[in-house]
Amino acid sequence: MIPDSFKQDLLNRVDIVDVVGKYVQLKKAGANYSGLCPFHDEKTPSFTVSPAKQFYHCFGCQKHGNAIGFLMDYGGMGYVDAVKELAATVGMQVPAWQPRTPEEAKRQERETDLAALMHQAMEFYRAQLKHAPRAIEYLKRRGLSGETAARFGVGYAPDDWQGLKAAFPDYDNAALVECGLVIEGEGKRYDRFRDRVMFPIFNRRDVVVGFGGRVLGEGEPKYLNSPETPLFQKGQEIYGLGHARDAMREAGRALVVEGYMDVLALAQHGLRYAVATLGTATTPVHVTRLLRELREPGAELVFCFDGDAAGRKAAWRALEVCLPLATDTNPIRFLLLPEGEDPDTLVRAHGRQDVERRIADAQTLSSYLLGELRAQADLANAEGRSRFLVAAKALVQRLNAPVLRMQVVRAIAPLAQVTPEDVERLFAPLEGAARARTAPPARTRAPLAASTAEQGLLRCVLADPSLARGLADELLDESAPETAALRSLAAEVAADNAPSPGMLLERFRGGAHELLVHRAQAAVLESQLDAESAAHEFTQLQIALRIRHKHREIEALKDRVGRDSALNAELNLRIKELHQLKGQRS
């Protein structure tokens, strides 16, 4: 476990604007920075980064977090790797391993147990392949050797509803469902994978986290992947990366293809630097991880897609994902194969040299981008050139590599019959492009709905954590969901004299109050609530809590009087006093 004191120091030293700015083109917008969200497609900026609070929030897709969270969500890093990456940027050394919390130990132990089951299943499937002539014949027909199949751990799931009973005598074990090997429904259990060639999927630590199964015959779906589990997130894993890592660095290239058999066929023919996404569109996690693996300047990332409509659509989606991640030192290329061909059929029909020639001739990101844009507009007239510039603007604004961006701008200018300076002015993000966010007008506060005051207090405390020391805990509504979060925040502040808003977010990561804290942080950004305004609002809300408390006491006393007319005049006197105090609003 990494000590909280180290994480606090780290988050105090790094600037989230610098961290996010490596991947997202940010523009000053008041006290914050805004840009196009890297987590979803949009044309109007809704992604906001706060340098004062050291966290980000997208008002479109609701993604949020601090610098650590951004590297995890966008960079595809594990928690420890994200902390190490940040620490390296500011010259800090992550301290030696510390004892884990009980929750961390329990989670890691659970993941270890599930990984052991997945490994056991892989060995079972591999053993079954030896006794499955149909599966062996299929692999031979696809040109796959026994050596390649063994190296990638290929196996076979028998055509049996409960074939895994042979590997797991305790077939009723809930963990088999949890890791996606078994399906449970209507009181029955059965294997997820049946009569399929099985391709194990390994994570970056070479642990089996999932499977892809190719049906034998005409069944649907043709390929079936493991579901999302505590071990397996499909959009974050890259098939064959462990096998390709050394070859990628040696060749100075990574080739991204679409299928398991493409990877195996290319590897068998000596092209061992191929990897595949797992039936999903290319994600920022895929691109970031592969660029990090390539490391050396000049090493290139090549995407290879089928030449049909679906392949072209996938290629364009990959280009859009790559724009904010592209660098000036590592080229990104796109190879679209002839329609009806894929890497598997191509390498078997024409050999390694033909495929490598095609890879060498693959379009660069800039040439592919401009080629597609030119094909969509008639550059012979002003209207077509206008359309071309508008389409290019939305894409070039997402390009963060400064030298490459300059080159693209200079290539666009003559096509549109304008100067590079005209293009730069047109493509520059507008100041204040993000919608203006001002504090909401003051509202009448007494009496308040059950959790209105608590919501406001939570927002104020996240704007200025030191305010939590003055929280009137006894006045909080026990039924309000924010109350427990406020008390937890107060406890964190009491334990740490100066926790930053970014560190408070870190403390609540994965906890019961995480969603409430993130919503309150979004409200802080939207209202641009500063420390001074937060202190004023906090005081007013505390007054409102006291008024609400007195109001409820009045109602309770009235109820007692109404139920018992024999109560003495002391109750009526107390009610009168409370009304006077309520009128004073204090």
Give me the residue spans of the domains in the chain: 4-89, 102-225, 241-369, 376-427, 452-583
List, in order, residues 6 or more apart from 276 with CB less than 8 Å away: 238, 239, 240, 256, 257, 258, 259, 260, 262, 263
- Cβ 211 vs Cβ 199: under 8 Å: yes
CATH class, range 4-89: alpha beta
75 pLDDT above the threshold of 90: no
Which comes out higher in pLDDT, residue 420 or 463? 420
Quote the pLDDT of residue 534. Answer: 82
What pLDDT is attached to residue 444? 34
Per the structure block, which two tokens stand in for 390?
């508008």
Strand partners, 57: 48, 64
Domain 376-427: assigned CATH number: 1.20.50
CA–CA distances in Å: residue 299 to residues 74, 238, 253, 291, 329: 22, 18, 5, 9, 8
Give the DSSP letter string of 380-418: TSHHHHHHHHHHHHHHHTT---HHHHHHHHHHHHHHHTS
CATH number of the domain at 241-369, please?
A: 3.40.1360.10
Report the CATH number of the 102-225 domain.
3.90.980.10
What is the average pLDDT across 41-56? 85
What topology does CATH give the domain 452-583? DNAb Helicase; Chain A (1.10.860)
Q: Give, in degrees to the nearest 5, the angle at Cα 58 between 5 and 7.
A: 5
pLDDT of residue 506: 77
Give me the chain's average pLDDT, please: 85
The reply to whether domains 4-89 and 452-583 share a CATH topology is no
User: Which is more confidently placed, 374 or 501?
Assistant: 374
Query: How far apart are the C-alpha atoms of 500 and 413, rounded to whole Å?
Result: 46
Contact 167, 121 (CB under 8 A): yes
CA pair distance 261, 345, nearest whole angstrom: 10
Q: In angstroms, rounded to a whole number, what is the distance separating the alpha carbons of residues 570 and 574? A: 6
Say how far apart CA 524 and CA 458 lie, in whole Å.
10
> Does 440 or 246 have the greater pLDDT score?
246
Mean pLDDT check: name the lowest of 94-108, 113-127, 257-271, 317-331.
94-108
Residue type, 460: C
**Position of tokens 């890592």?**
245
Q: Which has the closest alpha carbon to 181: 238, 136, 259, 125?
A: 125
Give the pLDDT band of residue 284 (cuts 50, 70, 90).
Answer: confident
Mean pLDDT of 340-356: 93
Nearest to 439 by CA among 520, 519, 528: 528
Which has more confidence, 481 or 232? Answer: 232
> Of 231-240, 368-377, 549-558, 573-582, where does the model show the most confidence?
368-377
The closest alpha carbon to 181, from 210, 223, 205, 219, belongs to: 210
pLDDT at 515 exceeding the cut of 60: yes
